[in-house]
Amino acid sequence: MTPIDLELQKLENLANRMDAAFRIPGTGIRVGADSIIGLVPGIGDGLALAPAGWIMWKARELGAPSHLLTRMGANVAIDAVIGSIPLIGDLFDVGWKANLRNVKLLREHMERKMQTASPVMDEAA
């Protein structure tokens, strides 16, 4: 496993804890710390932004281009704005899962980048 794969795995673990750590019994619905922290009036939604910011920071360190960081930032902004609406925002958080979305975008980008960086073997050689 490459260092990039290890870093992506750490980010995926963080995103899972934040967005999908627990299954609501009797349903297929998964929630994470983001949904639970978001229930705390006033500060919950702000606290939930820290891991999202960390994921974006690490994406920048891994060389994510500005267009990808912008898309990731939009996911976090949507989560923050709609998530801050009492009750409706809490329900929205259950479905939006910005952290999982962002790590998936980053992994897809990194995999494409690795594929284009790999030399293509010529079958005739």
Q: What is the dihedral of CA 31, 91, 107, 55, to 10 degrees?
A: -90
Predicted structure pTM score: 0.88
State percent of the chain over pLDDT 70: 94
Crossing angle of the two packed helices 44-61 and 98-117, in degrees rounded to 10 = 0
**Residues 34, 16: contact at Cβ < 8 Å?**
no
pLDDT in tens, 15-49: 999 999 999 999 999 999 998 888 888 788 889 89
> CB burial class (10 A; 0-12, 13-18, 19+) of residue 107?
middle
Average model confidence (pLDDT) for the chain? Answer: 91
Instruction: Please work out, in degrees rounded to the nearest 5, the angle formed at the alpha carbon of residue 9 by the alpha carbons of 121 and 2.
Output: 35
What is the residue whose two structure tokens read 């980010």? 11
